[in-house]
Amino acid sequence: MELLIAKIAAVGLAGIGSQWIAWRFRVPGIVLLALAGLIMGPATGFLVPERDFGQLFKPMVAVAVAIILFEGGFTLNFHEIRHTSTAVRRLVTIGAPLAWILNTAAGYYVAGLPFPAAVILGGVLVVTGPTVIMPLLRQSNLAPRPASLLRWEAIVNDPVGALFAVIAFETLLVAQSGGSLPDLIMHALAALLFALGLGIAAGRAVVWTFNGGHVPEYLKAPVLLVVVLGSYVASQEVLEESGLLTVTVLGITLANSNFADLVEIRRFKETITTLLVAGVFVLLSANIDKSTIQALDWRAAAFVAVMLFVVRPATIFLATIGSGLSWQERVLTGWIAPRGVVAIAVTGFFAAKLTGLYIDGSREMIGLAFAMVMTTVVLHGFSLGPLAQWLGLAAAKRNGVIIVGGSAWSVGLGLKLKEHGIPVLIVDNNWNQLRDARAAGLTTHYGEILSETAEFAVDFGSYGTFIAATDNDAYNTLVINDYAFDFGRRNVFQLAPAPRRLGTAAEATVTLGGRPLLASQSALYEFARGGDDVTFSATKLTSKFDLKQLMASKDARWIPVLAITSDKSILVASADTAFAPGVDDIVIGH
């Protein structure tokens, strides 16, 4: 018993530790998770999941995959998809089914998989992995349109690919039961309708219950988790292996409902999914035996090559005809398609199911999925930046400014920056706080900037400066500490605490937070009171009118906030360094 507990702890430590190392050193987390599992499993024999956990192993993985797929469906908001480009919609409506067909053909004819295994693996490999794509986009400085294309394709295809695999498996189960072709079609449609109906009904029931106040706040996240598991089990009892489709539809239903607790539930979902993804990936990697790895022969290499150099480019080329994309954007999108954790987790789940049905190809499926994931993560991770530069698709300059906090101070600064052609994004987790920013025509994001959802919803590629400007010192410090690694410590700032603020919060700002602005939180209260003395001004410096003369011409309370240099870079007036804008720079202050 003690040894089993130690192994469970080791899985948790390896999973979360790998993700922390990946975050700290900016390497793909999936590579480290796979290595951790392979070291604990085939390499050392310390962990053999099917032996160590016995009959619990497959149910554990099944439940984890169900929750992961629910999370995938929970990110699929149709309203957001309708507002994306024509190219994104075509990649989903045309590209995804086309990729499924071509992936299946590659698996059957090139890798030599039996047709049932090829169809299921082909559906799974439609997924392009948002957990891999998002960090790559943040590091590559890609132009907004191709970045948006890759980001939305990954988000939408994450549940769609798994959905294809579920449908294929359901059809396989119906086919094994025998019967004529019309009977098979009717059974398949009945399975699909039942899973869809149960998922939608469960989702509607959750929305009605939560919005009606029938569940207390502190129980909502646990109740939702129980509903997901209960829907999965109920669906399984009525129709074998329909549970995955049911929970995916349940997630999609909630994502597209007027759900008052959507943001809070997403935070809980992110936490539980992070733990499950880490654990499942380590366990599945450890469960691979040496024979599976040794079985990767020339056919596996040929399969990976065909998928990279034939299937993906052909899918993108055909799906985006007449979409308005340039040939450079189509080439880039046709190459970049890293697979991620969902591909491995779902493949491992269905491989076990095929083994139970005595259908060949399950071991080869796992090997091919691992080969695709590891190859694409490494090749695409290292090639995205250089390829974008060569194709001329790298963003010209990350000179935009993100301001956290929708106060009048933030809106005033944002308007001045916008007037001079600088991209601005105002972020706040209070919808009402963003009212003035929206009315002023500024770009806004409603949500918690510390949430993982922000990674998917916010395009960070245009922004190089980050300012935390709420009236909460501790929150500003927390936000800056989280984003300092991505933006660089020299590019993250926060309002200095008001002079009267002393003690722990102010000390934490110095030791943990970002660089303090010359402007302090007292400015927020001045703006809240209103008056001509707190409006922002923008002044261009010349050889005869420098910063010193500008300061002398202003009221004694006037404070510079930042300068827009002649090459459209941002120079922030920080309390820890000398503020020295030059000739032709535009100084903004209040």
The chain-wide mean pLDDT, for the chain, equals 81
129 pLDDT exceeds 80? Answer: no
Tell me the whole-structure pTM to 2 decimals: 0.68
- The amino acid occupying position 1 is M
Tell whether domain 2-391 is in CATH 1.20.1530.20.
Answer: yes
Mean pLDDT of 546-555: 86
CB 514 within 8 A of CB 484: yes
Structure confidence at residue 116 as a pLDDT band (50, 70, 90): confident
- The DSSP symbol for 452 reads T
pLDDT of residue 513: 61
Dump pLDDT digits (tens) for 200-221: 999 999 989 988 888 887 888 8
Dump pLDDT digits (tens) for 523-532: 676 666 555 4
Bigger pLDDT: 561 vs 238 = 561
Tokens of 350: 């269905």
Structure confidence at residue 107 as a pLDDT band (50, 70, 90): very high
Tokens of 309: 């150099």
136 pLDDT exceeds 50? Answer: yes
294 pLDDT exceeds 90? Answer: no
- The amino acid occupying position 427 is V
Please tell me the distance from the alpha carbon of residue 302 to that of residue 309, in angstroms, as a whole number: 10
Dump pLDDT digits (tens) for 295-328: 778 899 999 999 999 999 999 999 988 888 889 9
Least-confidence region, from 131-135, 223-227, 499-503, 517-521: 499-503
Instruction: Please report how the helices 29-38 and 341-356 are oriented relative to each other, as an axis angle in degrees rounded to 10.
Output: 40
Nearest to 445 by CA among 29, 462, 313: 462
Q: What angle do CA 63, 64, 67 make, to 5 degrees?
A: 90
123 pLDDT exceeds 50? Answer: yes
- The amino acid occupying position 330 is R
pLDDT of residue 239: 67
CB 528 within 8 A of CB 410: no
Mean pLDDT of 360-385: 84
Dump pLDDT digits (tens) for 70-97: 876 776 666 655 555 678 888 888 898 9
110 pLDDT exceeds 50? Answer: yes
In sequence order, what are the beta bridge partners of 465? Answer: 401
CATH homologous superfamily, domain 400-589: NAD(P)-binding Rossmann-like Domain (3.40.50.720)
pLDDT of residue 501: 47
Domain ranges of the chain: 2-391, 400-589
Percentage, residues of the chain above pLDDT 90: 13
Q: CA-CA distances (angstroms) from residue 15 to 6, 57, 352, 502?
A: 14, 17, 22, 40
Dump pLDDT digits (tens) for 459-508: 777 788 999 988 888 888 888 888 887 787 888 998 877 554 444 444 44
CB 135 within 8 A of CB 28: yes
pLDDT of residue 472: 85
Mean pLDDT of 550-571: 86
| Helix (H), strand (E), coil (C) string for 544-590 | CECHHHHHHHCCCCCCEEEEECCCCCEEECECCCCCCCCCCCEEEEC
Dump pLDDT digits (tens) for 13-49: 988 888 788 767 766 676 777 788 888 988 888 888 8
Neighbours of 356 (CB within 10 A): 10
Please tell me the distance from the alpha carbon of residue 309 to that of residue 157, in angstroms, as a whole number: 20
421 pLDDT exceeds 60? Answer: yes
